[in-house]
């Protein structure tokens, strides 16, 4: 699904991620952990083609990212759902309209896989907030709306950048359960988090793999988490 081959990424100030060689396999559940500033967000951005490696190779869905046109990347991203850390919405649109935006962008008028918008809102627990505007939502509601927007096109791959970082433990568990449900439906999930309790909870329910970023390298962590 995604393959890094000795890939490195550098900012102006120096190298951030170095010599990454790993494969993200279909249907797996991954945690990406590491200290703040270690490169978790950068890694996720590379996974959907927003950033390209400065050296080494990177393939997304079997395509070399350096050979992709802007249109190619746009098509690939329809198969990738991203939950950003900051949960940006259009404040003048309702929750329902914000969630449905990816459908309009991709030229669709209904949900794929025979799911409808009401069912999706019910699934994330926002049925009663369908007409609310984003400023009226709590932090947990915003994260669930972001999750719904990320999966509305039924993507194969879901990337979540610390979606539980600004919510309480109960909401963290609820968000995790939604991601686990998606994984059990066959979706590949990459979840950036430094919350070891959340990682242990996930590992008790699915075969979650933990990728740890340390010293600019990314590696599969041991089973002691």
The topology under which CATH files domain 1-79+155-225 is Rossmann fold (3.40.50)
- pLDDT 10s digits, 134-161: 999 998 999 999 999 999 988 999 999 9
- Band (107; pLDDT cuts 50, 70, 90): low
135-167 burial code (b ≥16 CB/10 A, e <16): eebeebbbbbbbbbbbbbbbbebbbbbbbbeeb
Pick the more confident residue, 194 or 188: 188
Per-domain residue ranges for the chain? 1-79+155-225, 87-154
Q: Please name every residue paired with 82 in a beta bridge, in sequence order, or none if there are none.
A: 159
Token output for 77: 């991203």
pTM exceeds 0.85? yes
Give the DSSP letter of residue 134: G
H/E stretch holding 59: strand 55-60
**What's the pLDDT score for residue 106?**
63
- pLDDT 10s digits, 202-219: 999 999 999 999 999 998
CA angle 153, 127, 174 (to 5 degrees): 75
Share of the chain above pLDDT 70, in %: 93
């Amino acid at each position: 699904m995604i393959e890094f081959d000795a890939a490195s990424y550098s900012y102006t100030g120096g190298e951030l991620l170095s010599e990454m060689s790993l494969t993200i396999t279909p249907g797996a559940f991954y945690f990406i952990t590491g200290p703040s500033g270690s490169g978790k967000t950068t890694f996720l951005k590379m996974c959907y083609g927003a950033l390209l490696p400065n050296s080494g190779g990177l393939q997304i869905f079997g395509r070399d990212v350096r050979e992709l046109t802007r249109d190619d990347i746009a098509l690939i991203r329809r198969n990738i759902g991203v939950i950003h850390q900051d949960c940006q919405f259009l404040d003048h649109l309702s929750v329902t309209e914000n969630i449905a935006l990816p459908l309009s962008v991709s030229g669709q008028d209904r949900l794929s896989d025979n799911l409808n918008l009401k069912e999706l809102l019910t699934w994330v627990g926002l049925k009663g907030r369908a007409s609310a505007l984003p400023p009226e939502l709590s932090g947990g509601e915003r994260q669930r709306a972001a999750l719904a927007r990320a999966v509305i096109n039924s993507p194969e791959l879901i990337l979540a950048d610390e979606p539980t970082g600004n919510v309480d433990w109960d909401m963290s568990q609820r968000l995790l359960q939604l991601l686990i449900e998606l994984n059990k439906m066959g979706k590949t999930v990459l979840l950036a988090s430094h919350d070891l309790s959340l990682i242990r909870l996930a590992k008790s329910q699915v075969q979650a793999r933990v990728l740890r970023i340390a010293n600019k390298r990314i590696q599969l962590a041991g089973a002691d988490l």
